A and B are shown apart, each in its own frame.
Chain A
Amino acid sequence: MIKFIEAIFQNLSTWGLPVLMVILGIVEFSFGLYKKHWNTNEKILDLVCYTIPRVVVRPLVTYFALKFLPYALPGLKDAFTWVPFWWGFLILCVADDLTQYWYHRLHHEVPFLWRFHRTHHSAPYMGMAMASRQNVIYTMFFSQTYLTTALVYLGLGYPALFVKGIKSIITTLAHSSIPWDKPFYEKKWLHPIAWVLERTISTPATHHAHHADSNDDGIGHYKGNFGNMFFLWDVIFGTGLITRQYPKAYGIKHYQQEEWYAQFLWPILKSKKEGSELSANGPMVKEDEAIVPATEEEPTSKIAVPSELKLT
């Protein structure tokens, strides 16, 4: 058993991560963490988004990028193999994750880009099933694929793969419906660790808040918490919200359960659902209807730990 776990982590960048995700997904499903939201349309979409990028998109992009790079950067193959490993690791942690922070943030803040990222947010549940759920165009232009490929060409492949491995574990666990970070908030003696942890890396609490279907409860924060591996970027740029709470509902308020093929292949294929953001004449960004403020409970009273960080 220990050897199998060891092998998963040693082969994280090849078969290790998919196996880890399948195991976590089975655990989540067994505990009923998808509730009753995982219908056939969602299942097909999740499965297609999990498989096609791994089997087709990423290998093709990497193959053609490695063919193209000798022309774009002639004479620079292995030019930076001299960079000591830990310096390479630090440089890449920043370069890789900050680039993804921006890739992600711009898809939320630039209206034109929203529909390429919407598929990831339409899932009304959290967990391994939706962790890879993305529109194919978002996947094709995903910053990390190009950055890792270019860095392998430049001779920084080893630290790049190391960063990729750590990042994939953090982002996978942040999407998981298993709230592994909860004990850090419940046990008082763990609070100092929680304070550092939630400001450094993405946790289920902060990332689930990003996937909430509403900002109105003081917990959800879909207009922020953009960090993938590091939450630090949200702290620095003032886009973060830490409440140590988990949203009650996930997804998009105006979700119309658009067809899986439209969610995966928009704008190549469009949704037949009238008024949908993914339909032929749909709006670029559909505004949520005005929410009537809740009267039964004050949102702030739900916050058990007064550690709310709102820098926006």
Chain B
Amino acid sequence: MKMEPQIANRIVRNILLSVFIYALPVLLMLLTFYFTGQRPWEKKPVPAAQVSK
């Protein structure tokens, strides 16, 4: 049994839109960092052992 062509076309169209949706929150985060000047990746995480002391 083969997939109907219109379903295959709809899958392709929707997957392309999905790529944009996947990227959206990442882009929003990077834009926020850009406009607020935050650079959280430069902060070194404090090891758990030091926190508990």
Please report A residues at the B interface, Cβ cutoff 8 Å. 78, 81-84, 87, 90-91, 93-95, 98, 102, 105-106, 109-111, 236-238, 283-285
Contacts and interface: CB of A to CB of B under 8 A. Distances in A.
Nearest to A111: B1
15 contacts: A81-B45, A82-B40, A82-B41, A84-B29, A84-B40, A90-B29, A91-B29, A98-B18, A105-B11, A109-B7, A110-B3, A236-B17, A236-B21, A283-B1, A285-B1
- The dominant DSSP class at the A interface is helix
B1 A109 contact: no
B14 interface: yes
Contact of B25 (A78, A90, A111, A236): A90
B22 A237 contact: no
B2 A111 contact: yes
A211 to B, nearest CB: 20
Interface of B: 1-3, 7, 10-11, 14-15, 17-18, 21-22, 24-26, 28-29, 32, 40-41, 43, 45
A94 B32 CA distance: 18
Contacts of A82: 40-41, 43, 45
Contacts of A238: 10
A7 to B, nearest CB: 23
Which 10 pairs of residues, A with B, have the shortest CB-CB distance? A111-B1, A82-B41, A87-B29, A91-B25, A90-B25, A82-B40, A237-B14, A284-B1, A81-B45, A285-B1
A94 B2 contact: no
B45 to A, nearest CB: 5
Contacts of A94: 21-22, 24-25
B7 A83 contact: no
A109 B3 CA distance: 7
Contacts of B43: 82
Given A82-B40, A111-B2, A98 B25 contact: no
Contacts of B32: 87
A111 B3 contact: yes
B16 to A, nearest CB: 11
A167 to B, nearest CB: 16
A282 B33 CA distance: 56
Nearest to B38: A84
B15 A102 contact: yes
Nearest to B32: A87
A236 B20 CA distance: 12
A98 B22 contact: yes
Nearest to A93: B25
B18 to A, nearest CB: 6
A284 B3 CA distance: 12
